[in-house]
Every structure is written in structure tokens, then in C-alpha cells.
Structure 1
Amino acid sequence: MISRRSLLAASATLALMPGATLAQTRGAPVGKARILETMKRATRFMVEKIAYRGGYLWSYLPDRSRVWGELEAYKSMIWIQPPGTATMGHLYLDAYHATGDDYYYQAAASAAQGLIDGQLPTGGWGYFVDFGGAKSVRRWFDTIGKNAWRLEEFQHYYGNATFDDQGTGEAIRLLTRIYVEKREQRFKAGLDKAIDFIFASQLDNGGWPQRWPAVKDGGLHGNPDYTGYITFNDGVIHDNIELLLTYHQAIGDPRIVPAIRRAMDIYLATQQPAPQAGWGLQHSLDLKPAGARTYEPKALVTHATAANIEQLMHFYRLTGEAKYLAPIPAALDWLESVRLPAALQVGGRQFPTFVEIGTNKPLWVHRRGSNVVNGAYYVDHDPANTIGHYNARRSIDTARLRREYERLRAMPGALAAKDSPLLKGRQALPAYTLAAVEPGSDKNTAGGKTPAELVATLNNEGWWPTQLSAMSHPYAGPGPKTVTPGDFRSTDVGDRFDTSPFNVKNGPIGISTGTYIDHMITLLNALRSGG
């Protein structure tokens, strides 16, 4: 007897194009016609068999009995967070530019329309859109979302828009690109509303919150609501600057340059004084570091500080103004002051993630319990048995950062900013947006294949079989108050009541949006380079 997992794997293997093996095809040349045919068949499957109202989730079982975004989803949903609906739209526009085939433009237009249909009245988006309606959304948050132990952002229904994980930014960039492509008015109102949302949500101090507008009772697990704080985590402010630069180049708006300048200056205002001249993931409105999720304590944060140093150098290239370089030496000195001793470094990660304000001691995050009901996160000074789903240590190349700082410091501002999109203003957008599917929350993206392998392994239905490496427990009701036996201190998931995704070995064969995007990028690169 064959189990369902084995049957799915066997079916996918048998569905490969006949007469080809990976050993025979890996280095074989592929002609333009075969690449175009493969791209079109794969895209037809995604557009005509997978898309729902123009949008996409992340992963699907072949029979669609279970589907996922970052968490298990409903079939009435489309996912906004990359690599979701907007990312697919960008891929289709890239394919349209490479081929001239209007089918890809229409696919991008359908994705854009799905985003507009799911746009919130304020102009932004949440992590997903559920076309099943308000009751369906509430049911999902009260069941699957509420029981995802380590994904606290899904445990409460806010009902507002989020900048987290670049979902709203990715959507606005797609609407910008699709509108300037042919100036179709059907996209203009949604784009205008989205751009107005960016300006309306910017804080008076120049930063952006994680979510907007503010809601009542947004706190979790006894902590205050952090979602209205100045947010550097996951590149919120940086991403909003970049999407405004995209709009600045493509269309223009007199509000953009002042908004960008205020956003750049919040990096200066929030740097803490020496000798702890770093930044937190979030800062409260008094400009001090603040906590967020219960495993993100109030602290200075090394990788956030390194990212902000990178941004300050980027701002110098945008403006030529030396004030953006001035904070960097003190920030680098602080990072070096918290480098871990060799005995505490793990896997090339030399810095603690969190550093206690005042003492400069590392803070280590732990958890106890087995699910969101009986479990809790806590912080202390003990590096043993830290949580596994959030890195306790970071790898930062401070020497590289210092070299780049010195290089820019020696460069006149006018030279550094000679190609600045901020100063140049209106200009054509690049024809291609996607270079790769970056590692992130979607663990089911599979890459690393050659064009010849992709031509050979697209199955008869038109999709690339992907062994899913992340799954989740189906919702089984609220977790018990009694801790389930087992050690869940460093695992991705707790007991069977925890709906958080977790890595699996020998997972089922499925359909992956991220895999499709990765493989299409490979084929597009081959097409553009001549096969």
C-alpha cells in the first residue's frame, strides 16, 4: 500500500516530460523556442488553474486540499506578503518585457486588479486578502492565526494595513509599474489611494509605524501595542523610502522629496548616545528603543544597527550630505564593543542579537510551555537553550562596513550623488525587477536548476513538482493549559495545537509559487542572454 505522501511523490515523478533525465539534461543547451514554450505552459497553469481572482498563495497540495501563505490559508484568500500576489505580478511584467507576449501583461494586470479588489479603504493591505468576507477573516484569526505560537503578528485581528515584510510596498510598486506601462486608467484610482496611504501614515517625526492606522486594544500577552512605533524591523522605513523613489522616478509628486528627507532624518534622531550608539528594532515616539513581539525585548539590536549603517551610507549616495555619514563611526565602535567571545560565537555569528541598554550585556531569549495557551517567552543573561526560530546571534562584517564608510568619506558629496534617483527625478523605470527569490518566511521555494532541467522537469499539467520542506499542523482547537510532554524550547513549532509552520523531511510534493518565480527568473535570464 502506498501512502498519500508516496503516491503524490510518485505521481509527480511520473509526470516529468518523457525521455529525459537530469543527468542527461543538466548541461544541455536549450533553444529559445523551448524556453518560451516552457515559460508559457508554466504560466498558463498558474494563471488558469492556481490564481484566485488574480491572486496567489504560497504553496498548494496538488489536490488543493490544503493551501498556505505564511500560515495555512483558506482557498478564498490571496497572499500579499512576498512571494505572493504582487511578486507574481512583477514576474509577469518582467516576462512581458522579455517576450513582448501580451498574455504576460494580462496576467500582471489580473494580479494588480486582485490587489485593488482587496485594498483596504485606507489604501494599504494586510498580510492577505480573504474574498470570503469579514466572517471568514475573523474565523481565520480566531483559529489558525490565534494559535500560531511564534507568529504573534497573526494572533490578533487588527483590521488595518501593515508595512511588515514588504507586503504593502510590493503591492504599491506593482501598481506603479503596471500603470506606467500603458497608463490604463483602471489602475489609477487604486494607485492614488495607495500613495496617499504612504503619506498619511508617515509619523510626524518622519518614521513609519509597522501598522496604520492605530487601533484600540492592540497589545498582546500583557504588552503594549508596539505597531504604532517607529519601525526599522524588516526594513519598514527603508522600503517605504525605496517605493517612494520608484514613484518619484515613474510619475512624480511634490510631496515625495520632503517625505523622503524626513524619513532619512529619523535615522539620525533615533541613534542612541555613545557609548551605546546603536538602534533598536522599534523606537517609541520619545525616540528610545522599544520592545515588540514577546521575543523581541526592549534592547539595542546589532543587525538593525548594521542595517541602519548601510542605509546611512545609501542616504549619502542619494544626497551627498555628510550628515548621514557622521553617525557611523560611533555605531561601528558600539558594534565592536559587543562582539561575543569566541566561546559564545556559533556558526560564524559573532554578535548577540539583543543587547541590554545600560549594561551592554547580551540578552538571550527563551521560551517555556508547548503552545500559545500555556507557553511564554522570557529574556535573561543565559545563552543556553535559546529559541530556535529567531536567531540569537548575528553575522556582521564590521570591517567591510568600515571600509565602505572610509571610501565614501573620502568621496565628495557631488560625486557620490551623481546618479541619485532622488536628485534626478523623473526617469524610466528598469524593465526588469526580480533578480532572485530571497530566503525568507517561505521555506518551500526550491531553486538551483539549470534551464535545461527546468524544460525537462515541467510536468504534463504545467507545474514544477516541489517537495514541500515546511508544513503546519491543521487547526485542532485551542491548546490545552497543561503543557504537553516534550522539549519545545528551541523548536520551530510546539505541540499539535500550534499552527506555526515548521520544517519537515520528506514532505509531500506540492505546487510552490516561490518555486515558479525562481524557475521563471532562471528561464528569463537564459532567454535574455540568448539561451
Structure 2
Amino acid sequence: MHKPGRVVSILLGISMISLLGFRTASAQAAVPVSKENVTKAMRAASEFYRNKLALHGGYVYYYSLDLKERWGEGKASPDQIWVQPPGTPTVGMAFLSAYEATGDQFYLDAATDAALALVYGQLKSGGWTNSVDFNPRSKLTAEYRNGKGRGKNNSTLDDGISQSAIRLIIHVDQAHKFQHKQIHESAQVALNALLAAQFPVGAFPQVWTGPVPQIPAKPASFPQYDWRTEGRVKNYWDCYTLNDGLAGYVCTTLLDAYEIYKDERLKQAVLKLGDFLILSQLPEPQPAWAQQYNYDMQPIWARRFEPPAITGGETQDVIATLMRIYRFSGEKKYLEPIPRALAWLKRSQLPDGQLARYYELQTNRPLYMNRSGKKYSLTYDDSDLPRHYGWKITSEVKELEREFKAVSAGRELKTEPTPKQLLIRVKAILDDLDDQARWISVSTGERLVGQPKFPVNTRYIASDRFSSNLETLSQYLQQQK
């Protein structure tokens, strides 16, 4: 990191002509790509985002252009920010990348504000739920460590919620050289809670309120009962979970934390997670993974539209995670399950090249749901699927095979864009910045994360776009060094 230099904030009320130096309100001319123009664009866009959109340092997913409406998963209250990506942690990490690329204290201050917003909403159980409400009288609060909330104490790993919060806080802690008392304490509480939430077998639950039960390890197996109607677990979130990329999110968090704190417990937690992934692979004819398991290591129901099944998405996430754990540990046992799983993915692709979210246990038939009112029924027919859920996913088999060959040969796969590719992206980002320093998104009628469909041509501001663009511009500056 560069030594931070204190830079006086430029108020958004100043003319955007002088602020950007290359754009006028009346003309949207192409912007030349240069270090100076990139730096100015980053600062202008970040000034707008922090000064106009931040609430106590935190953010939601989407904003209307007049800033009167805010959305997370659904409409956000006036006092609410979102933890779940692409909310506050996503924006905060982008600010950190900008700080590392520029050394500008403004970005560290913005990232610190975001981290402190998360510290406010940290639960007594050590993690986070999907949002934080700063109104102590609101019904949307949870049981915060600071005593200013009420409600549930359910720390969750669903959708990367606690993981993303932890990652931002530990990286901000590192940026402050562990001298920011509130942030450092929050980081330690969160990591201790995460370690306590790991089962002896190495798995994690979707939700925890305290240490998990000590249950003996068992290898994965198929249920010996009618999985369609039996074996439902009411509190499935207390069981072994892989749903929504949990393994990858947790692995990233633990690896980052180990790199920062060099705590041997974190290293062992990574290895235990890898051991669980090996053990939870189902046997032939489906050597892959399920979304969640009971304590006998059998696939179980979750929500009423999430049946016990082999899942394409979780299988891809587990394969990628096992390769990361191998790179970290050098232990070849973490590669051993992968060839069988890749072969299963290849033979399970749908005619259009996609993967089904669910495959029926043992038969491997793609499994879907029909919906009538609140009632769901299992089907093999994909012609009338409920629209609130992703029943098919993109196959990443070729990419995973390529990475596996590289890992097995001891080679690193180049994942960074070439200078030419990065230049093209940067030019588009600069050209898309409007005269108010905003990147405006336009709905094409697609279903956005956590939202019903916005009407076609709805114009809005999106945290994921801001964060992605800021990360790309930061990457460009780093490359120029």
C-alpha cells in the first residue's frame, strides 16, 4: 500500500466540468484513457456515491435517480443498509481497492465508514443478518452487539452475508495496522464466532446463534427412505450447508483472515472445510454435492421449493474451492474427488449446454418444480417454472477442467485481463460516467437481485456496477505502476 496522503474532499456542488476535467454537462464526448483521467473519474464517482448515497457509511443495492427510493432485497427503510452483496461490504471493498491503487486517504475513510456501519449491525452471535437498521425502535433491527437493536440473533452465511462483512472488516483492520479499536475488536469477535460455528466434520451451518453441536463425522450417502415426502428437517439451516456458494465464500474469508492474522486456527479451519467437502461427495452414480445435508450426511429438504437433490451450482463451487484449498495446502487429497465430479458435470449438461439446478437422487434426471399458489410440486417438466428462482445455471465445466489441468501440473492459470482488454473496459467505463459522476443502469426487464422486475427502461443507480467499475479502474492504475 502507498502511504496515505490527506486529500481535501471536493464538494459535488462544484461544477462537474472542473471536477472531471474532461466532461461537460452538454456533451458526452469520448474520454481519453490516461492515468489522470482515470484518477479524476474514480474520485468524482466515489465522491458522489459516498456523499449522496451513504447512510451512516453503508449502502443498499439500488437507488432511483432522484434518490428518493432505495432497494435492498425489496424496498429499504429510510434507516436501513444492506449487508448482503452487492451492498455495503461490496462497496467498501471497492473503496479499499481504490485506496491501494491511489494512496488517497479519502478512499480509506470511505471504506472505514462502511466497516463501522457493519460494526454497528454486528449481532451478539458474532456475525450478521442481511441488513442493518439504525433506528433502534424499528421492527427491522436484530439483536446487535451494541445493544441498540432487538429481535433475532441469527448470524447467517447465506448468500455470503457474514463472510462479506468479515472480509471488509478484516481488510480495513489491516489497513489501519490493527490500531482502530472498534474495527479490530469486531474482527476478532467475528472470526472467533465463525470458528465456533464450524462442525467437527468441517462443515458450516447456514445460520448460527452460538457454538454448534459436536457430531461425529459420517461419509455422504443417499437417503434410504422416500426423500420426496419424508426426512424433512424443520431447522434445516442448523445442518451442514453448501447452498449459494457457502463453501467458496467461507474459504475466501478464512484464507484472507489467515493471510492477515497468521492465526493457526484459521489455517486448520480451511483444511477441515476441505475434509468435509471430500466426505460430503455422494457416491456413484452421482459423485457430486447437494445443497444441504443432515447430520447423517444425507441430502435434505430446505425451503419448500428446494428438494433433496444433487445440485449443479454447488458442485461447481465445491470443485473450485477444493482446488483453492489444494493450492493453499499442497495436499493432493483435495484434488482426488474432482475428476469424478467433472465427469458427472459433463454427462449432466442439458441439451442447451446449461446445468439444471437440481438432479433427482440416483436417477440423475433434471428435477424442477411447478407452482400453484403457495403449493409446489416436483416435476421433470421445465416448460412452466416459477420465475422467482434460478432453475438452470451456466455450466462452467470447460473452465473448471482447464483449471484442474493447470493445478495438477503445478501451473497458475492467468485470470487477469490483458492490458488491451483492460484498456477497452476502462475506456467504456470512462465514457459511461455521466455529468453528475454517476454510472446509470437501464432495466431491460430482467429480474434484478432481490427485486421484482423493474419496468423496461427504468433508469437506476446500482452498487454492483459502481463497485465493479471502481475495481476495474483501480486495477488499471495498479497496472500502470
1:50 counterpart residue number: 53
Counterparts of residues 257-272 of structure 1 (less than 5 Å): 257-272=267-282
Structure 1 position 172, deviation (Å): 1.0
What does 1:254-333 align with in structure 2 at a 5 Å threshold? Answer: 254-333=264-343
Q: 1: CA distance between counterparts of 2:432 and 2:365?
A: 54
Deviation at 1:449, TM superposition (A): 6.4
The partner residue of 1:501 within 452, 455, 465 is 452
| Distance 1:339-1:528 versus aligned 2 partners, 3 A rule | closer
Take 1:503 and 1:214, find their aligned partners in 2: how far apart are those partners? 39
Structure 1 residue 18 and structure 2 residue 22: aligned?
A: no
Q: Is the 8 A contact 1:17 1:456 kept in 2?
A: no
The answer as to whether partners of 1:125 and 1:168 remain within 8 angstroms in 2 is: yes
Task: Establish whether residue 516 from structure 1 lines up as the match of residue 466 from structure 2.
Answer: yes
> How many angstroms does 1:214 deviate by?
7.4
| Alignment partner of 1:136 is 2:114 | no
Alpha carbons of structure 1 residues 275 and 257: separation in structure 2 relative to 1, 3 Å: same
The 1:331/1:76 distance shift into structure 2, 3 A limit, reads: same
The answer to whether the 8 A contact 2:241-2:292 is kept is yes
Give the distance between the partners of 1:500 and 1:38, measured in 2 at CA: 29
Give the direction of change, closer, same or farther, for the CA distance of 1:506–1:233 in structure 2 (3 Å limit). Answer: same
1:366 has 2:365 as partner: no
Structure-2 change in CA distance of 1:468 and 1:321 (3 Å): same
1:41 aligns with 2:44: yes
Residue 298 of structure 1, CA deviation:
0.8
1:174 to 141, 148, 168: 168
Shift of 1:85: 1.0
| Structure 2 Cα separation of the partners of residues 282 and 260 of structure 1 | 19
Q: CA deviation at 1:136?
A: 3.0
What residue number does 2:242 align with?
Answer: 232
Q: TM-score, normalised by structure 2?
A: 0.78
Select which of 454, 458, 474 maps to 2:434: 458
Unmatched runs of 5 consecutive residues or more in structure 2: 1-22, 143-150, 212-231, 418-423
> Once the 2 structures are TM-superposed, how far is the Cα of residue 339 of structure 1 from its aligned partner?
4.3
Deviation at 1:182, TM superposition (A): 2.4
**Of 194, 199, 209, which residue of structure 2 is paired with 1:198?**
194
Per-residue CA deviation, residues 463-522 of structure 1 (Å, 9 max, x unaligned), is 333335579xxxxxxxxxxxxxxxxxxxx69xxxxx952243111x33322232233234
So what's the TM-score if we normalise by structure 1?
A: 0.71
**Is the alpha carbon distance of 1:403 and 1:113 closer, same or farther for their aligned partners in structure 2, counting shifts above 3 Å?**
closer
Residues 324 and 113 of structure 1, relative CA distance in 2, 3 Å threshold: same
What amino acid sits opposite 2:92 in the alignment?
Answer: G
Matched, 1:83 2:92: no
Q: Secondary structure at the match of 2:74?
A: coil
Percent identical among aligned pairs is: 31
Q: CA separation in 2, counterparts of 1:396 and 1:62?
A: 35
Q: Which amino acid aligns with 2:438?
A: W
Is 56-65 or 67-76 further displaced after alignment? Answer: 56-65
Q: CA RMSD in A?
A: 3.1
Which residue identity does 1:501 align to in structure 2?
P
Shift in alpha-carbon separation, 1:66–1:269, aligned structure 2, 3 A = same
CA distance in 1, matches of 2:328, 2:479: 31
Report if the CA contact (8 A) 2:153-2:209 is conserved.
no
Q: How far off its partner does 1:299 sit?
A: 0.9
Contact 2:426/2:476 (8 A) holds in 1: no
How far apart are the structure 1 equivalents of 2:359 and 2:433? Answer: 48
Tell me: higher relative CO, structure 1 or 2? Use CA pairs within 8 A at least 6 residues apart. Answer: 1
Contact kept, 8 Å, 1:29 with 1:452, in 2: the verdict is no
Distance in 1, matches of 2:270 and 2:32, equals 47
Match of 1:253 in 2: 263
- The amino acid across from 1:298 in the alignment is P
- Given that 1:82 and 1:170 are in contact with CA atoms closer than 8 Å, whether structure 2 keeps it comes out as yes
SS at match of 1:367: strand
Structure 1 unmatched ranges of 5 or more = 1-15, 140-156, 216-221, 370-374, 420-433, 436-447, 472-491, 494-498
CA distance in 2, matches of 1:229, 1:69: 27
Counterpart code for 1:190? S
Show structure 1 runs of 4+ deviating over 6 A: none
Q: What is the CA distance between 1:19 and its match in structure 2? A: 4.5
Distance 1:337 1:122, change over 3 A: same
1:404 & 1:522 partners in 2: Cα distance?
23
Give the direction of change, closer, same or farther, for the CA distance of 1:67–1:280 in structure 2 (3 Å limit): same
- Shift of the 48–526 alpha-carbon distance from structure 1 to 2, 3 Å rule, reads same
Local SS of the residue matching 2:259: helix
Helix, strand or coil at the partner of 1:136: coil
Aligned to 2:378: 379
